[in-house]
Amino acid sequence: MDTLPGQTLEAIAYAAELIGQARRIVVLTGAGISTPSGIPDFRSEGKGLWAKDEQLEVASQATFRTRPEVFFEWFRPLASSIIDAQPNSAHLALAELEKHDKLHAVITQNIDILHQKAGAANVIEMHGTLATLTCTRCYRKYPYQDFLPAFLQNGHLPYCSDCAAILKPDVILFGEQLPQKAWQQAQAEARKCDLMLVIGSSLEVLPVAGLPMQAVDRGAHLVIINNSPTYISVRADINIYEDASQIIPAIAKRVLNHVE
């Protein structure tokens, strides 16, 4: 942390102070928190997944219904990187803050289960999860361990053991609605919190991108840790343009040392 610019160190100290004063803290995470774990993001210029593939061609509900093999061909390397990934220091630090009652909920746009692997308990998954697959006919739900390892190894598509219909990973594709329960929970958390931390999200995908606005419009403080500015950066108390896996542990250390 000593190699960080002085301005960043001051921002870390101020963020820790805000966390120490807050009564209800909510975190919103995007792909940027998981890239240090080896999971590619979607929108980074030149190297994001959508720089290589047309999203509606490979990851839409229509494509899955008509040509599931196209979706699975695109999905296979991403699923492989997710299954092999481990939580990084940012995930672990957030889980530690939650354990010490300094964090109320994590709202995530990620499907990678890394918050749960790190030990976080209250995780609201806005874009679904890779943890399970659901039959497209009988709706039986399966844990990913039953099918994805074999799919990644031999490329065989996953089919339901009961009715033989194809299984769909429980991730939200283009053209699908957000999970209603998760969306209602996320809105409630955004409206009740007095501090929101946005970590690793460009805040470009609606409606989730609107959650920080709901928070600040009700008087909440806002801290953004991302590699580039967002539409709401001008309203944030703090903007830190550094690697989340370095910044979040530094903030958590200051908070928890003060608590202890």
Question: What is residue 227's predicted lDDT score, i.e. its pLDDT?
Answer: 92
Which DSSP symbol is given to 145? G
Give bridge partners of residue 174 from the DSSP assignment.
60
pLDDT tens for each residue of 25-50 = 999 999 999 999 999 875 444 444 43
Residue 54: pLDDT over 70:
no
Over residues 17-22, the mean pLDDT reads 97
Question: What is residue 21's predicted lDDT score, i.e. its pLDDT?
Answer: 96
Task: Give the residue extent of every domain in the chain.
Answer: 1-38+87-127+177-260, 40-84+129-171
pLDDT tens for each residue of 122-177 = 999 999 999 999 999 999 999 999 998 889 998 889 999 999 999 999 999 998 99
Residue 64: pLDDT over 80:
yes
H-helix segments, the chain = 6-21, 49-52, 55-58, 61-66, 68-84, 89-99, 114-118, 148-154, 180-192, 211-217, 244-259
Over residues 87-98, the mean pLDDT reads 98
Which DSSP symbol is given to 220? -
What does each C-alpha distance from 159 to 9, 132, 148, 169, 190 come to in angstroms? 51, 13, 11, 11, 38
41 vs 75, residue with greater confidence: 75
Over residues 77-83, the mean pLDDT reads 91
The CATH number assigned to the domain with range 1-38+87-127+177-260 reads 3.40.50.1220
Mean pLDDT value across the chain: 91
Looking at 3-7, 97-101, 166-170, 252-256, which range is the least confident one? 3-7
Over residues 57-81, the mean pLDDT reads 90
Amino acid occupying residue 139: Y
The CATH number assigned to the domain with range 40-84+129-171 reads 3.30.1600.10
Over residues 99-104, the mean pLDDT reads 97
Do residues 174 and 61 touch, judged by C-beta distance below 8 A? yes
Question: What is residue 3's predicted lDDT score, i.e. its pLDDT?
Answer: 78
Q: Per the structure block, which two tokens stand in for 185?
A: 């929970």
Locate the DSSP E strands across 109-166: 123-125, 128-135, 141-143
Question: What is residue 41's predicted lDDT score, i.e. its pLDDT?
Answer: 72
H or E element at residue 121:
none
Residue 119: pLDDT over 80:
yes
Do residues 254 and 14 touch, judged by C-beta distance below 8 A? no
Question: Which is nearest to 129 in space by CA: 86, 78, 171?
Answer: 171
Active site residues: 127
